[in-house]
Structure 1
């Protein structure tokens, strides 16, 4: 069994995150899925950013910190899009994390990253939020930290291609992402 804490995207805690958490639980993992928006959620990116602004990054991180307090220190840190940014806020203070799983977003690699730390990144090939130069620079920083890095780029996919409720959805890419993520977590 792997302990996992999964932080949702800027859209809030939605059915896709709940479904993923349930799938992981069925596979025998313990999953913490904090609601950083306290019930607010949307399918619209602009509205998601408005919710984030209204709540404030400090309050979002406070909720994440509260959730982390009851999570084992070796839990896998996982984040979806904005959730990767939340992972970035706490990664340095969780040096025993068993791994880092980043879906649709980047997280700054801290200087104290443990050599050999398993990290997996999944992003769209032409993601306007995370263009190729940024992904390449991120990969170089993770490799410089001597982490065990896997980067998966998905062609013909939009930013949040794994969510069937969104227009970015790509069934083939989503199936690959979930298969690779599950393998990473076992």
Structure 2
């Protein structure tokens, strides 16, 4: 899928998305992916939970997140939604998947969720999955970081959930600036997420 995909190419209403970055921070590849959703006509907010810091490996990024504190990361994610419409699609890669899932479950009005490269049991958060709220989960099948078994359990639990597993073990496979980047899988993820966004009422 080219970066310059035409607005409304997938039909349906345009959506407002709150997209959270992965453990490496707001890398060029992460921002490029957000721009592809924007090129399709969607409004995409990309809060920086790291205050401008980026990292070259998942281990370094996770160590930084630990130094900040995961509770503080969650607080920053919640704060990023303040002042925005309730009618949001929450999305996140890896570390950012936790903020996206938490807000979907705890902030009333979620339009949908796109949870990529990470997930948690619904019991992790203070509220159950909201009835009727659609969600897609995406990960590489052999990615140890992504908690694929948790995703598989969530699909059994949530009637409106879809799970897409891609061949391989790369974690940040949709980020062109990551060593895990997989062009074919990234293009398929982009297509599937745009189709999901196009289906929302």
TM-score (normalised: structure 1): 0.89
| Match of residue 38 from structure 2 | 25
**Alpha-carbon contact 2:104-2:130 (below 8 Å) kept:** no
Number of residue pairs aligned between Structure 1 and Structure 2: 182
Instruction: Give the match's secondary structure for 2:138.
Output: strand
Task: Go from structure 1 to structure 2 and tell me whether the alpha carbon gap of 1:69 and 1:132 turns closer, same or farther (over 3 Å shift).
Answer: closer
CA offsets, 1:3-22, max 9 Å, x none? 10001111111112211222
TM-superposed deviation, 1:60: 1.6
- Which consecutive unaligned segments of at least 5 residues does structure 2 have? 1-13
Q: What secondary structure is seen at the aligned counterpart in 2 of 1:137?
A: helix
Whole-angstrom CA distance in 2 between matches of 1:183 and 1:141: 23
Structure 1 position 86, deviation (Å)? 1.4
Residue in structure 1 matching 2:122, options 89, 105, 109: 109
Provide structure 1 residue ranges, at least 5 long, that are not aligned to the other structure.
none
Out of 161, 182, 186, which is 2:173 matched to? Answer: 161
How far the C-alpha of 1:149 sits from its partner, in A, is 1.3
Tell me which of 96, 104, 125 is aligned to 2:109.
Answer: 96
Runs of 4+ aligned structure 1 residues displaced above 6 Å come to none
Normalised by the length of structure 2, the TM-score is 0.83
Q: Which has the higher contact order (CA 8 A, sep 6+)?
A: 2
Distance in 2, matches of 1:64 and 1:131, equals: 21
